[in-house]
């Protein structure tokens, strides 16, 4: 199948995306154009913020936004001014971003080259590949790069994954490893950076052991960071917090307490769920109890509209649940403003030891099992290559291999693509997407971060807003209890390397 027709890109396709290459594309006439350096032409959708700071031969170009929880009043320009002023090497730049939250891709320019890196979870995605002339392109999505640089769809591997049910639009699918749906275009994984002059990709984290942190110290530190992130966002944007019955949004609700009157709160009522189900009932009762308004937004089982159609037609393939939810948000906005930023609780899962496969050894076959990709030769090849590059980092840092897998594969693949799909209707903020916060939480003894009680996370809520614990967290229904029991029995009976129909649960 050839690459997409060379037609002009029109809104809202590829909203909040960017592409950079040797020249500008005539297919993006409405996008802003920036010559960021010799031979580097950056095209940016009008709704994606761009901030540039220069200091002598050093420059940073930021695509997206950064928040400083230590200084909520600071804007992107002020934050970057300090980073560039105090950082003289690329390693210093990367460390300077550790305390920051947000969603960004950034280009660091210096006398010896240019490097692209992104937020810890890679939620502002970066893909890269060379055109037929050998020139390097990078951008927000493989579909966009293929449109401007002429890459063909990877029909062979896509047909294999479709045949095995791995790309069903109704699933939480992702291309494994660094793969994408187009030949010659690869995903820049979390914790890696790209040299845009040479095309070389290098891992920069983890590079040292994560120091242990006393639970009480970690609680105070994490509470300060989370409240600071939300305070910084509230200074800039109309905010809407997506609330469920789970731990992650409950912690964020607690962290929003000092700014709660400035936020809107909503829950998406997904297809097949009831208003009496836990994810709708618990948030409604809890928010009403603390005097906050809660809105339930229904997701149609048969969505139709420009947002749904755009996501379906732009992403190869799309996640149908995202497209349906995005259309619901367009039809029933959580705020009266034309644009808003949704706060969501993803990424925290890296710090909560709940993966039922984690009792198995960290190996490519078991990673493939967890992703329900055991029958895919592509998945095995990609995950083996990823793990070969990750093992030295795991050995030097002590980071659990399953935690790194979840961070760089399901989160860096599935979740990052979902957030890019949601860009068609809204900007998103994940307050947990902060390296200093994640490493602090990961420094807490793992026995305090495990289910079903997750004592550290529960203590974090108690520290910030204890009344929120008066309401159940993830109350099980009979069907869920039966499923969990069966999953445990199947895992107990399975040997490493055996196939299993039990899949991993993603948030």
Task: Name the band, by pLDDT with cuts 50, 70 and 90, for residue 501.
Answer: very low
Average pLDDT over residues 113-140: 98
pLDDT, mean of residues 33-62: 97
Which segment of 74-78, 243-247, 286-290, 486-490 scores lowest on mean pLDDT? 486-490
Averaged pLDDT, 110-130: 97
Distance separating alpha carbons of residues 239 and 334, to the nearest angstrom = 9
Give yes or no for residue 475 having a pLDDT over 60.
yes
* More confident site: 490 or 182: 182
Q: Mark residue 410 as left, alpha or beta (left: phi above 0; alpha: psi -120 to 50; beta: remaining).
A: alpha
**Mean pLDDT for the stretch of residues 292-320:** 95
Beta strand segments in 175-215, E: 185-187, 192-195, 201-203
pLDDT tops 50 at residue 495: no
Q: Which of 129-133, 156-160, 287-291, 322-326 has the lowest mean pLDDT?
A: 156-160
Asked if the model's pLDDT at residue 506 lies above 50, the reply is: no
484 confidence band (pLDDT: 50, 70, 90): low
What is the overall mean pLDDT for the chain?
92
Can you give the three-state secondary structure of 22-44, one letter per residue? CCCCCCCCCCEEEEEECCEEEEE
Report helix, strand or coil for 341: strand
Residue 231 predicted with pLDDT over 70: yes
User: What is the per-residue pLDDT for 497?
Assistant: 37
Supply the DSSP string of 96-143, one letter for each residue.
HTTT-EEEEEEEEEETTEEEEEE-TT--S--EEEE-TTS-EEEES-HH
Q: What percent of the chain has pLDDT over 90?
A: 83
Q: Name the band, by pLDDT with cuts 50, 70 and 90, for residue 483.
A: low
pLDDT classification of 487: cutoffs 50, 70, 90: low
pLDDT at 486: 54
What pLDDT is recorded for position 79? 99
Q: Which residues contact 412 (CB under 8 A, 6 or more apart)?
A: 121, 122, 187, 189, 190
Q: What's this model's pTM, rounded to 2 decimal places?
A: 0.92
Of the listed ranges 136-145, 288-297, 336-345, 353-362, the one predicted with least confidence: 353-362
Q: Give pLDDT, residue 145.
A: 97
- For position 493, what pLDDT does the model report? 44
Quick check: 70 pLDDT over 70?
yes
What mean pLDDT do residues 325-331 have?
98
What confidence category does residue 161 fall into, taking pLDDT thresholds of 50, 70 and 90?
A: confident
pLDDT-derived band at 488, boundaries 50, 70, 90: low
CA 93, 98, 100, 103 dihedral sign is positive
Confidence of residue 482 (pLDDT cuts 50, 70, 90): very low
| Average pLDDT score over residue span 367-376 | 91
Quote the pLDDT of residue 358: 76
- pLDDT score of 505: 33
- Name the residue ranges covered by the structural domains of the chain: 18-203, 215-351+411-493
Distance CA 223, CA 10 (A): 42
pLDDT-based confidence at residue 6 (cuts at 50, 70, 90)? low
State the fold for domain 215-351+411-493. Rossmann fold (3.40.50)
Q: Which percentage of the chain shows pLDDT scores above 70?
A: 93
Q: Encode pLDDT of 445-455 as tens digits.
A: 999 999 889 99
Do residues 176 and 382 lie in contact, with contact meaning Cβ atoms separated by under 8 Å? yes
Q: What is the pLDDT of residue 2?
A: 35
Give the Cα separation of 109 and 192 in Å (integer): 17
Q: How confident is the model at residue 163 (pLDDT cuts 50, 70, 90)?
A: confident
Do 18-203 and 215-351+411-493 have matching folds?
no
Can you tell me the distance from the alpha carbon of 252 to that of 13, in angstroms, rounded to the nearest whole number? Answer: 31
Taking residues 55-77, what's their average pLDDT? 98
| pLDDT higher than 90, residue 491 | no
Selected residue with higher pLDDT from 480 and 58: 58
> Is the domain covering 18-203 a CATH 3.60.20.10 domain?
yes
Would you tell me how many other CB atoms lie within 10 Å of the CB of residue 92? 11
Provide mean pLDDT across the span 176-203: 97
């Amino acid at each position: 199948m050839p690459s997409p027709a060379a037609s002009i890109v029109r809104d809202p396709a590829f909203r909040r995306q960017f592409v950079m290459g040797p020249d500008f594309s005539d297919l993006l006439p409405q996008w802003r154009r920036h010559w960021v350096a010799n031979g580097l032409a950056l095209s940016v959708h009008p709704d994606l913020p761009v901030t540039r700071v220069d200091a002598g031969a050093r420059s940073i170009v930021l695509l997206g936004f950064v928040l400083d929880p230590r200084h909520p009043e600071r804007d992107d320009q002020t934050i970057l001014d300090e980073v560039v002023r105090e950082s003289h090497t690329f390693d210093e730049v990367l460390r300077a971003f550790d305390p920051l939250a947000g969603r960004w891709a950034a280009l660091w320019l210096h006398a010896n080259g240019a490097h692209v890196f992104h937020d810890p979870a890679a939620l502002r995605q970066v893909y890269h590949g060379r055109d037929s002339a050998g020139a390097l392109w990078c951008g927000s999505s493989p579909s966009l790069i293929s449109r401007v640089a002429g890459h063909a769809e990877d029909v062979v591997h896509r047909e294999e994954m479709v045949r095995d049910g791995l790309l069903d639009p109704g699933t939480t699918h992702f291309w494994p490893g660094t793969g994408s749906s187009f030949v010659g275009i690869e995903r820049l994984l979390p914790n890696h950076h790209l040299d845009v002059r040479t095309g070389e990709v290098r891992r920069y984290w983890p590079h040292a052991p994560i120091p242990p942190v006393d639970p009480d110290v970690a609680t105070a530190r994490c509470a300060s960071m989370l409240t600071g992130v939300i305070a910084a966002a509230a200074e800039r944007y109309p905010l809407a917090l997506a609330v469920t019955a789970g731990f992650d949004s409950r912690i964020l609700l607690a962290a929003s307490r000092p700014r709660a009157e400035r936020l809107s709160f909503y829950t998406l009522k997904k297809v097949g769920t009831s208003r009496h189900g836990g994810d709708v009932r618990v948030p409604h009762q809890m928010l009403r109890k603390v005097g906050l308004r809660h809105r339930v937004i229904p997701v149609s089982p048969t969505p139709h509209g420009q947002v749904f159609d755009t996501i379906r037609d732009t992403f190869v393939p799309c996640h149908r649940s995202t497209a349906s939810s995005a259309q619901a948000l367009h039809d029933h906005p959580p705020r009266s403003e034309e644009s808003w930023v949704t706060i969501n609780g993803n990424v925290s899962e890296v710090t909560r030891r709940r993966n039922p496969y984690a009792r198995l050894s960290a190996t490519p076959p078991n990673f493939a099992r967890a992703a329900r990709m055991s029958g895919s030769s592509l998945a095995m090849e990609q995950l083996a290559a990823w793990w070969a590059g990750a093992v030295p980092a795991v050995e030097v840092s002590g980071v659990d291999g399953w935690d790194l897998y979840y961070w760089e594969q399901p989160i860096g693949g599935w979740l990052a693509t979902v957030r890019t799909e949601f860009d068609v209707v809204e900007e998103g903020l994940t307050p947990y997407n902060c390296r200093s916060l994640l490493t602090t939480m990961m420094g807490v003894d793992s026995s305090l971060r495990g289910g079903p009680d997750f004592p550290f996370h529960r203590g974090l809520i108690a520290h910030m807003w204890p009344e929120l614990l008066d309401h159940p967290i993830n109350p099980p229904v009979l069907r869920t209890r039966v499923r969990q029991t069966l999953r445990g029995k199947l895992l107990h009976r399975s040997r490493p390397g055996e196939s299993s129909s039990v899949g991993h649960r993603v948030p």
